[in-house]
Structure 1
Amino acid sequence: MRQNRLLSIILLLLASGIAYIPYSSQPSQSRRSIAQDQTLDNVIPNSVLSSSLRPRAQEQGAANFTFKELYRMQKKFLDAFIYPANQKEAKKINSTIFSEDVQGRVDITRTFSGRELNTEYIFGLFSNLAASSNDTNAFSLLGYATSYKILHFAASQNIASASTIFQFTFPILPTPVPLVIDTWNVFNAQGQISMYDATFKWWDWAVDSLFASLSQKYNATLLQTVQLATQKIAGSICDIAIKHCNGTNAQYESMQQCEDFLTKKVAFGKSYQLGTPGRNTLLCRMVHQNMVPFRPTVHCPHIGPSGGGYCVDDKSYGDVVGDMYFSNMPFGYSDRGAL
């Protein structure tokens, strides 16, 4: 019975024109795993796979990299993200790891469009954070990555998806903290990141653990720790504002006015409010303070009372979830017009 069923399946496949692809256990540099390098067109002939089922990225002439090439490109990005390599990348101002029209999104912050802006936020933010770790006036709840290990990696054509565990150094904590970041990258024909979507996994839990460590460090209750952090973060932001935001870029008349505004007129913010819904928060301005030295004209408003279009309450939860941000090229298969 089992043999008859197997024979029926084979005959059905042959009748449909689906070729049997033998797999050899002998190692060969010219022979690649189907799961790694072959597209649907290699496995299923045109007579079976209609044009309506092809990935739109392929129809539009997207690059077709091998699995190993995509892995190397992913590693190139991750290597540049790690401190102190990110310092070198940030100094380029326009990192060619990104395409000129790159579109990026980080779940706990916002969307970032263009090469220069992404260079500042992905490389500059963390390199500045590391550089200011010895500044007694600087204070942040953020950390910077010093090492990483890829946990999972899947890739096809010009898309790479990875889950990576990083060791983050937080200047306010005595020991590194592990953070997992899931990324979905799309590369252009030059091997540059054209689109990326990044998610900090278990971020809420990480922030809770951070505050627990701070409470122990300061020998204080959670409420007392938040109050202390509020004062320190506000002082750090205001120090940046007074030093770098002058003339037409000025946001506050004095240090006192700045601290009063940040401690009394905006919310501290929840762990997901570093730039997402309800982003008119102290935490959002904490993120952007590291960007101000790069381009005061652009970033000073972000730490000011107006929020500069970034630290503002302009979207609801539903708005963010429903935002069809990416438009450079399709993310392979999706319900958004891909089939």
Structure 2
Amino acid sequence: MFSKGPVLALVLLVRSSSGYRQPYEYLEALDVFGAAFSNPAGVFNGSTPSPLSSDVVGRIDVITTFVGQDLNAEFLFGLFYQDTLLDTTTQLIGIPSGMTIQSAVVEPPVVAVSYISDMAFPTVNLSIPLQIDMFMAFDDDSMKVVSYDAILRRIDELMAYTAPYLAPQIAEELNSTSTNVTELIQLKTAADVCAVSSLYCTGEFQQYDSQDACLTFMEALPFGESWQGGMNTGWCRYIHKNLVQFRPDVHCPHIGPTGGDMCRDRNYLEVTSTVPFNQTLLSYNSSYNAADMKGISENGVQQLVKVQTQAITMTTVAFYPVPTVLYTLVLYMMAKFTEFILSRFSVQYDEMSFENKRNTVTYVLDTFVTFAVLILQLVASPILASKFTFDNVNMLKAGTLLISGLYIFELTYRPSMRWPLLIHHFCTIFAIVLLLSVLAYTGHPQIVAAGEIWLFQATTEQSVFIGLFMYRLRFPLRWTRDMLRFGAVQSFIFKLAFAAYLLAFWAQKLAQFHTSSKDIALSVMLVTIIVLLMCTQIYGAWAVWCLSEKVNKSMQFLRQRQRADSNVTVNAVSPADEKGKSVDEEEV
């Protein structure tokens, strides 16, 4: 009866519909990046996973552009990884001892972030904050950085501030009598670069004829400005000297006389106008490429930008979420499966009218769906104690949507409904829409807790559904009567208790914070809906109780007939077959 095709398609649709990353996941990725920056040694020894993708392209404003994971990791993290040769001496580049996010804007898959990193200079007991502004594009599958554009904000001021503190210690380490800060920085640059060159750049990687030749060249080479970290300067070679230890074959030329392909003169116009990234940092068209745009007019592109940047809210008209479509399909498949099972194994079901068959199927769906939502509610119940978590809130949201979707499906699946049930379903759906919309509009967390309480009125009716199911399928009369009685009493008590709880909670947590006419209107609508629902629920409980009494009368009638004629075998007839009954389970 059922083929594998629709099921596989459903699985694929569910997977694809849940493939979009949430903003909080990008914030977590920023924390991962910050942790790697603060612990560069961990990135290289493998204890800290690299936050960079294999094909990452990045640019640092004071240096240049880097292509590939290795080169980017070396410049982002290896730059601060002190070589054991120099780790006891004063360094011009500090060691990051912490990384915090000062500000961030998330527009998936692009993030604009401003980090504050505490740069430590241990030999002079100095710690200075460095602000790093970055645009970052992430791969949604791995949540690794595929493109970034980094700006070391006020780096020139930082260097000017720290140099006077470092200079006396540098003079002591170099046994220099000079007090000229610029001269000492120049001497320090030459000493460190040449020490690294002598240790790592040997054999085929040798750059200078001798140590003295290196010192002579470096002491004559201008140190440069802070923004010249990618040009033919001593500052550029000083930056690269920390990277030589990782790959001498790549980085030795960068500290040599030629500067390799890194420390060289650059054209300002070329650097400024070139966009090197393999994924755009423009969030609104991050999924577009040249092939997508081919043949589309400029106006068409502008319209696509509007589509791409449309803010989706709970009340957006041009938005119909894929999970809603899938859930409707699941309900339909559940209904068809239930019909198939009942028609295959129940004679009583086959003898029913079309309308009663549909009603019986809805009892099964109502039982399973409301029980599943009840489990979600119980897991999310810490919300009632103001213990909000991302998962708890989303589980509760999912529960409300499952119930509203179930009721909408029931309205279309059943051939007819009596007015109490129609009012109940419409009020419940309206209440869910109202609370979700107000939550999206105000963001008040206690509305979530109010929804948790309210939803219990719809998820504690399983005993009623089971009793009606037993009634329709002609279960033993005593079992059916007892289940209907239990359902009527339990449902009435639970609904009354949760309605009172909701009103008390609203008065305590929300009504006192009324600041506008909209808040008052919300409370008025809340009370009105609760009153309407209570009327239908009291009537429903009474109808179920009356149904149990009809079953009880049938039992008494059968006993009387058995006493009157003990020789006659009486076939029990369910009151479900009686005509013209005044109370039907459809009134519940």
> Is the pair's TM-score, using the shorter chain for normalization, greater than 0.5?
yes
Relative to total residues, which structure has the larger strand share, 1 or 2? 1
Which whole-Å deviations, capped at 9, do the CAs of 1:272-304 have from their partners, x for residues lacking one?
Answer: 1111xxx10001000000111111111100000
> Structure 2 residue aligned with 1:297, among 245, 249, 263?
249
1:206 correspondence with 2:162 = no
Separation in structure 2 between the aligned mates of residue 159 and residue 244 of structure 1, nearest angstrom: 39
Counterpart of 2:267 in structure 1 is: 316
Size of the aligned set, in residue pairs, is: 267
> Structure 2 residue aligned with 1:144, among 87, 95, 112?
95
Relative to total residues, which structure has the larger helix share, 1 or 2? 2
Q: Percent identity?
A: 30
Does the CA contact (< 8 Å) of 2:133 and 2:151 recur in 1? yes
Look up the SS of the partner of 2:125 in the other structure: coil
Separation in structure 2 between the aligned mates of residue 92 and residue 173 of structure 1, nearest angstrom: 30
Q: Superposed, which structure 2 residues align to 1:156-167 within 5 Å?
A: 156-167=107-118
Displacement of 1:78 in angstroms is 0.5
* Cα gap change, 1:93 to 1:112, in 2 (>3 Å): farther
Look up the SS of the partner of 1:307 in the other structure: coil
Separation in structure 2 between the aligned mates of residue 124 and residue 93 of structure 1, nearest angstrom: 15
Supply the RMSD in Å over aligned alpha carbons: 2.8
Displacement of 1:146 in angstroms is 0.6
Tell me: higher relative CO, structure 1 or 2? Use CA pairs within 8 A at least 6 residues apart. 1
Counterpart of 1:225 in structure 2 is: 181
Does the CA contact (< 8 Å) of 1:90 and 1:127 recur in 2? no
1:154 correspondence with 2:105 = yes
Counterpart of 1:35 in structure 2 is: none
Separation in structure 2 between the aligned mates of residue 128 and residue 64 of structure 1, nearest angstrom: 39
Displacement of 1:196 in angstroms is 0.7
* Cα gap change, 1:171 to 1:321, in 2 (>3 Å): farther
Displacement of 1:80 in angstroms is 1.2
> Structure 1 residue aligned with 2:136, among 170, 185, 209?
185
> Structure 2 residue aligned with 1:98, among 32, 52, 61?
52
Separation in structure 2 between the aligned mates of residue 295 and residue 174 of structure 1, nearest angstrom: 31
Look up the SS of the partner of 1:150 in the other structure: strand
What TM-score does the superposition give when structure 2 sets the normalisation length? 0.43
Which whole-Å deviations, capped at 9, do the CAs of 1:43-98 have from their partners, x for residues lacking one?
Answer: xxxxxxxxxxxxxxxxxxxx74211111001111101110xx32111234996421
Does the CA contact (< 8 Å) of 2:136 and 2:281 recur in 1? no
* Cα gap change, 1:176 to 1:273, in 2 (>3 Å): same
Separation in structure 2 between the aligned mates of residue 307 and residue 196 of structure 1, nearest angstrom: 24
Which whole-Å deviations, capped at 9, do the CAs of 1:134-167 have from their partners, x for residues lacking one?
Answer: 444xx53111211122111110221111111111
Counterpart of 1:249 in structure 2 is: 205
What TM-score does the superposition give when structure 1 sets the normalisation length? 0.72
Query: Which of the two has higher C-alpha Rg?
Result: 2
Q: Superposed, which structure 2 residues align to 1:1-339 within 5 Å?
A: 64-82=20-38, 85-92=39-46, 96-128=50-82, 131=84, 134-136=87-89, 140-171=91-122, 173-189=124-140, 190-214=142-166, 224-264=180-220, 266-275=221-230, 279-313=231-265, 315-333=266-284, 339=302
Separation in structure 2 between the aligned mates of residue 159 and residue 87 of structure 1, nearest angstrom: 27
Separation in structure 1 between the aligned mates of residue 95 and residue 225 of structure 2, nearest angstrom: 20
Does the CA contact (< 8 Å) of 1:93 and 1:120 recur in 2? no
Separation in structure 1 between the aligned mates of residue 210 and residue 28 of structure 2, nearest angstrom: 49
Which whole-Å deviations, capped at 9, do the CAs of 1:232-274 have from their partners, x for residues lacking one?
Answer: 210111111111111110000110000001111x211111111
Does the CA contact (< 8 Å) of 1:102 and 1:195 recur in 2? yes
Look up the SS of the partner of 2:180 in the other structure: helix
* Cα gap change, 1:173 to 1:321, in 2 (>3 Å): farther
Which whole-Å deviations, capped at 9, do the CAs of 1:200-224 have from their partners, x for residues lacking one?
Answer: 1111111111123335766999981
Does the CA contact (< 8 Å) of 1:66 and 1:156 recur in 2? no
Does the CA contact (< 8 Å) of 1:64 and 1:158 recur in 2? no
Separation in structure 1 between the aligned mates of residue 251 and residue 87 of structure 2, nearest angstrom: 23
Q: 5+ residue gaps in structure 1?
A: 1-62
